[in-house]
Amino acid sequence: MRNFQLTRRAVLAGMGASALTARAGGAATAPTLLTAQVAKAQIAPEGYPQTEVWSYDGTLPGPELRVAQGVRLQRRFVNKLAVPSSVHWHGIRIDNAMDGVAGLTQDAVPPGQTFDYDFRVPDAGTYWYHAHTKSMEQVARGLSGALIVEEPEAPDVDRDEVLLLDDWLLDPDTAQLEPDFTHPMDLSHGGRFGNLVGTNGHYALTLTAKRHERLRLRLINAANARIFVLRLTGLSGWQVALDGMPLPAPEAIPEELVLAPAQRVDLIVDVTSDGAEAAIERLGNDQQWQRQVGFAISGEASRTRRDPPAVLPPNPNMDPPDLTQARPLEMKIEGGAMGRMSRNRMQALMQSGNFWTLAGQAGMGDTPFAKLSQGEPVRLRFVNDTAFPHAMHLHGMHFRELREDGSLGPMRDTVLTIPGRSHEIAFTADNPGKWLLHCHMLAHAAAGMTSWIKVA
Ligand code: C2O
Ligand code: CU
């Protein structure tokens, strides 16, 4: 008996052929929908009831959207929820009008109405989409999914797996989501943490794998506040992309892989375990390693280990910013519990329903933090003067961290800032529009840590 294995490329080629045939029929194609709706999902272990969630297309997480680099992605967003919503395409260097930020780039879509998202995806890589209207609640309720943009030449791997890491705050008796999304303790401390951690909508995900199989793992941190600290057992390999953008060369996977909210990492790993399993493990609050994703091993993909993977093809427009011309900006991050903000300022801030400020201001405000001219290089220093880490995310453009030795790091869209430290990023303001700049600990964003810049 011979085994036939369809490669992803063959499958895609086949799909392309059938799509062509269909188009030749000449019928006007109906828009592809992405529907926000209430659904049920078995997040908790068997035996527990299903959890009522808010979902895209009825699944948790939302459907994996996979498109080829450079194409137009079109989705008619249909809001079947009882509250307004909108969709943000995290990490896509997108046309500003399609960025999905309610109150900045569009009005939230009222219940029963639709919005047509239509944009080009310039960059290959691992991205994600999520609600950007009252995100703290809507993302926690389940409104997120993976958006994968494929390289024209896929790297040589046996399988490509998306792992969307999340946590949920569930009532341990009913397995329903804890409905208080604005608890002052969450807003003023680390954010809303779940009591059940899982992957792809399940508390315990186990995949199968063959020995010596080569996997591309696309990890996405979709949690509201949790910073994942991960390690691999029985798998070894390279990290090849961060926040969607290919690294200049594959790098050894750090002993402990830190993934802040909204960050992504692409790994290419070989299944090297001698035993029956391999795993991605997560450092728990108790400092014990716990299983995040398991791999049950059966069979052999090949006898020997392979050469390191080739470097991923670069995306367009990855030139480093011209630091000699860069305009320096500083954004001080203040507030929160156990911070150094004066009692008077803190009290005034809390009066306005906030706990945090960015550059002295709580919330978006009418004027941007900075007005940049298109093409202008910028260096922006975040000074984290709080007692908590913050995952600062810029919409519309990727940046590079300016390291202490003056060198520029890889391109990212979210940087984890550490209490008491400052982190400088640099980018070229080449995408016109109004771009949000906020903490991706979503409770922090809701309690003041949301700002924006204007590029024109
Ligand atoms: Cu995932 Cu405003 O971002
Ligand atoms: Cu924060």
Asked whether the beta carbons of 261 and 223 are under 8 A apart, the reply is yes
Which atom from ligand 1 is nearest to the alpha carbon of 395? 2
Query: Using CB atoms within 10 A of its CB, is residue 219 exposed (0-12), middle (13-18) or buried (19+)?
Result: buried
Output the residue whose Cα is nearest ligand 1's atom 1: 90
| 440 alpha carbon – ligand 1 mean position (Å) | 6
Counting from 1 in the atom list of ligand 1, the atom nearest the Cα of 262 is 1
What pLDDT, in 10s, does the model give residues 125-140? 999 999 999 999 999 9
Please say if the pLDDT value at position 19 is more than 90.
no
Nearest to 429 by CA among 375, 368, 370, 393: 375
User: Is the pLDDT score of 3 beyond 90?
Assistant: no
Q: What are the residues whose beta carbon lies below 5 Å from ligand 2 (ion)?
A: 390, 439, 441, 444
Which stretch of 22-36, 194-208, 365-379 has the lowest confidence by average pLDDT? 22-36
395 within ligand 1 shell (Cβ under 6 A): yes
Q: Is 264 in the pocket of ligand 1 (CB under 6 A)?
A: no
For 8-28, b/e burial (b = at least 16 CB within 10 A) is eeeeeeeeeeeeeeeeeeeee
Distance 57 CA to ligand 2 centre (A): 30
Give per-residue pLDDT as tens, 60-84. Answer: 999 999 999 999 999 999 999 999 9
The verdict on pTM exceeding 0.85 is yes
Decide if pLDDT at 405 tops 50. Answer: yes
- pLDDT, one tens digit per residue, over 257-314 is 999 999 999 999 999 999 999 999 999 989 999 999 999 999 998 877 788 999 999 9
Identity of the residue numbered 234: G
Q: Which ligand has an atom closest to residue 227 CA? A: 2
pLDDT in tens, 219-266: 999 999 999 999 999 999 999 999 999 999 999 999 999 999 999 999
Q: Is 90 in the pocket of ligand 1 (CB under 6 A)?
A: yes
Alpha-carbon distance of 198 to 181, in angstroms, equals: 20
Among candidate residues 340, 444, 438, 448, the one with its CA nearest the CA of residue 387: 340
| Residue 161 identity (one-letter amino acid) | E
Per-residue pLDDT, 27 = 57
Query: Closest ligand to 131 CA?
Result: 1
In this model, does residue 15 exceed pLDDT 80?
no
As a whole number of angstroms, the distance between CA 384 and CA 419 comes to 5
Centre of ligand 2 to C-alpha 379, Å, is: 20
Q: 364 in ligand 1 pocket by Cβ < 6 Å?
A: no
> Closest residue (by CA) to atom 3 of ligand 1?
90
Q: Average per-residue pLDDT in the chain? A: 93
Q: Does the CB atom of residue 130 touch ligand 1 within 6 A?
A: yes
Per-residue pLDDT tens over the stretch 43-65: 999 999 999 999 999 999 999 99
CA angle in degrees (0–180, nearest 5) for 328-90-236 = 95
Work out which ligand 1 atom sits closest to the CA atom of 438: 2
Ligand 1, residue 130: give the atom nearest the CA: 1
36: Cβ below 6 Å to ligand 1?
no
Please report the pLDDT score of residue 237 as a whole number: 96
Section 8-21 average pLDDT: 38
